[in-house]
Amino acid sequence: MGNAQRWKPLIAVFANPETRRAAAMLLLGETLEQSTAHLSPSKRSRVLGALRTSGLVTGDDVDPEVFRRVLEATATPRREGIDRFLEGKRIAQYPADLTTRAGLLAWVARDALAPDEVLTEPEINERLLPYAEDVAVLRRYLVDHELVERTPDGAEYALVAPGDSSTGMDAAWPRL
């Protein structure tokens, strides 16, 4: 069984009333013999098998380290960078730190828009919908961070070319 699945037999022990009772008694200090004495031979065999398969019992002793090992084996890697604020491609929350927010928005702008296209408001809204439910806020953030520019009437939008400042754009870039 792969490391990511090591939790299943351990949880199964606690899902079954017979194995749960035996496990509780073991964890409270009873011996393996004492914790299974109330069971018929066939049930005792099944309970002991489940306890050993789960890793809770090794030999005739409880192994309390099984919980630590299972947690370590199934730990989710810590997300870093802008991934901390995403659920898939969708923004779960905007970073409070403005530098991190700018990085997140730059990623959205590069991922959603092509450098040479001019979009209408409905078109840009459709492009931004996979990233946020409130596309108006996301669109405003992209404009405010000078990643997207818009015409004064707000009818058209375009990605700001890399290296462009707010004072001018490359001649090859569609000027709005």
Each residue's pLDDT tens digit in the chain (176 positions)?
A: 556 677 899 999 999 999 999 999 999 999 999 999 999 999 999 999 999 999 999 888 888 888 888 888 877 778 888 999 999 999 999 999 999 999 999 999 999 999 989 999 999 999 999 999 999 999 999 999 999 999 999 899 999 987 655 434 333 334 44
CB 146 within 8 A of CB 140: no
> What pLDDT does 38 receive?
92
Rounded to whole angstroms, how far apart are CA atoms 159 and 109? 7
CB 155 within 8 A of CB 120: yes
CB 148 within 8 A of CB 109: yes
Phi, psi of 115 (to 5 degrees): -65, -25
Backbone CA torsion sign across 41, 46, 49, 50? negative
Task: Give the pairing of strands 148-150 and 156-159.
Answer: antiparallel
- Domains, the chain: 3-73 (no CATH), 81-159 (1.10.10)
> What pLDDT does 110 receive?
94
Rounded to whole angstroms, how far apart are CA atoms 38 and 43? 10
Phi, psi of 159 (to 5 degrees): -70, 135
